[in-house]
Amino acid sequence: MTKTVTSSDSRTRILETAYRLFYEQGYHATGINQIIAEAGVAKASFYHHFPSKKDLCIAFLQKRHRDWFSWLKQEVDSHVEPRERILSLFAFLEQWLTTSKFRGCAFLNLTSEFPIPDSVIRRMIVVHKAELREYIKELVQSFVDKTASPQKVEVASLADTIYVLFEGSIITSQVYSSIWAIQSSREAVQRILT
């Protein structure tokens, strides 16, 4: 008995194939014909679901955004204490970057491929990073609220420091194919939060 391939199956296979290839190879190095061949769909099916490669990239970024935040929040939510929730950001980086063979951040990788700041792809990258920055700020606010510190803590400034250490850890780990930057950043954040 032959399985009937539905339109949504084709769309899913195209998106999953592009998801893998865009992350592993980059956007410009991945051709539509390669995606079509590896997804096992007809060219007409590809264009039915994605009128252009750019439309497929937008769908990829939307899916990657949802997936990545789900992975991150799953790690953070496995901790209760506010300080440990912040530090778990770096445990997440260690696990994710070693598992991905230090391929780095899909959003940062695409930044160099889309140099025009007001392009739709670059705007999506900025939205993703802004959401991460806001999430870290929420974690820091929770930490400050729970630690009755006599000294005044500037939440936005502390959150931005952690955000920069987080992002820097991604890039440095990708460059060196090593977790030392993540470990150094985690130690720095531990000292800051003491």
- The lowest-confidence range among 45-49, 80-84, 149-153, 158-162 is 149-153
Q: Summarize pLDDT for 92-145 with one digit per residue, the tens.
A: 999 999 999 999 999 999 999 999 999 999 999 999 999 999 999 999 999 999
Asked if 134 and 72 count as a contact pair (C-beta separation under 8 A), the reply is no
pLDDT at 2 over 50: no
> Among the residues of the chain, which ranges form H helices?
7-25, 32-39, 43-49, 53-76, 82-99, 106-111, 120-146, 155-176, 180-192
For position 65, what pLDDT does the model report? 98
For position 148, what pLDDT does the model report? 63
For position 1, what pLDDT does the model report? 38
Q: Summarize pLDDT for 158-188 with one digit per residue, the tens.
A: 999 999 999 999 999 999 999 999 999 999 9
For position 149, what pLDDT does the model report? 64
- In sign, the C-alpha dihedral spanning 178, 184, 190, 193 is negative
Asked if 147 and 120 count as a contact pair (C-beta separation under 8 A), the reply is no
Find, among 129, 158, 155, the residue nearest to 61 by Cα.
129
Find, among 62, 33, 58, 46, the residue nearest to 7 by Cα.
46
Mean pLDDT throughout 12-28? 97
Task: Give dist(CA 21, CA 87) in Å, integer.
Answer: 31
Q: For the chain, give every domain's residue range.
A: 1-51, 60-192
pLDDT at 6 over 70: no
Fold of 60-192: Tetracycline Repressor; domain 2 (1.10.357)
Compute the mean pLDDT over every residue in the chain, rounded to the nearest whole number: 94
- The lowest-confidence range among 1-5, 13-17, 119-123 is 1-5
Any idea which architecture 1-51 has in CATH? Answer: Orthogonal Bundle (1.10)
